Chains A and B, each alone.
Chain A
């Protein structure tokens, strides 16, 4: 079974600064997808960014980018120019690309990000 670990229960950053959230995972699969979801106080789960394991290039979405290290099974999220609206719980998630568990997400424990003005 796959596992996802977020070792930072809480992180904080000053507005306009950069912060990196860590995520590691364990899998025996070679083809899979990784995600970062954001959960603001509204509780809504919002997809931030997605990475396909077969792509070496790191995904980017505006101020959000990832550092995907497949051999190390590491998938960190970097938020640049942090804004007050970035304050939320962030979840790292894993999904197999095929097989019987196809489609199911495995989530990490979450990291609460606080942004200071």
Chain B
């Protein structure tokens, strides 16, 4: 089983709909991240959380919200989806050590029509 699991793998939705992307991990890491990937832009950080009570905005948080339900679960919500939120979304985790390597899920491809 994957250490970092994202659901759904693919999703098509309509403008204005609320949608939640979920991420769970079995690595026991405290730190979790949400990124979006767009062609020609690489991955950009949306939100990150260093523990259950810690939530921080990344560089492109507008239009998104997150919830850290437990150490192992970190959800990303689009309250009212718009077409320019069509992208590939990644969840990642890391420990707090100096090595601090990030491990990624398989991504969720979201299309907003």
Q: Is the CB of B90 within 8 A of A45?
A: yes
User: B43 at the A/B interface (Cβ < 8 Å)?
Assistant: yes
Per-residue CB contact flags for chain A residues 41-62 toward chain B (1 = under 8 Å, else 0) read 0111101001000000000000
Q: Is the CB of A104 within 8 A of B43?
A: no
Q: Is the CB of B104 within 8 A of A45?
A: yes
Q: Is the CB of A109 within 8 A of B40?
A: yes
Per-residue CB contact flags for chain A residues 99-117 toward chain B (1 = under 8 Å, else 0) read 0001111111110000000
| Minimal Cβ-Cβ distance residue in B for A46 | B104
Q: Is the CB of A91 within 8 A of B48?
A: no
User: B12 at the A/B interface (Cβ < 8 Å)?
Assistant: no
Per-residue CB contact flags for chain A residues 27-38 toward chain B (1 = under 8 Å, else 0) read 000000100010
**Residues of B within 8 A of A (CB-CB), count:** 26
Residues of A within 8 A of B102 (CB): 47, 105
Residues of B within 8 A of A95 (CB): 100
Interface size class of A (residues with CB under 8 A): 20 to 34
Q: Is the CB of A91 within 8 A of B42?
A: yes
Per-residue CB contact flags for chain B residues 34-62 toward chain A (1 = under 8 Å, else 0) read 01000011111100101000000010000
Tell me the complex Cα distance, A4–B106, Å: 23
| Minimal Cβ-Cβ distance residue in A for B2 | A44
Tell me the complex Cα distance, A72–B50, Å: 32
Residues of B within 8 A of A109 (CB): 40-42
CB distance from B99 to the nearest CB of A (A): 8
CB distance from B23 to the nearest CB of A (A): 13
User: What is the interface of chain A, defined by CB distance below 8 A to chain B?
Assistant: 4, 6, 9, 33, 37, 42-45, 47, 50, 91, 95, 97, 102-110
Q: Which 7 A-B pairs have the closest CB atoms?
A: A45-B104, A107-B42, A107-B43, A43-B107, A109-B42, A110-B42, A108-B42
**13 extra interface residue pairs, beta carbon distance < 8 Å, beyond A95-B100, A103-B48, A107-B42:** A33-B100, A43-B88, A43-B106, A44-B104, A45-B90, A97-B98, A103-B94, A103-B100, A104-B33, A105-B45, A109-B41, A110-B40, A110-B42
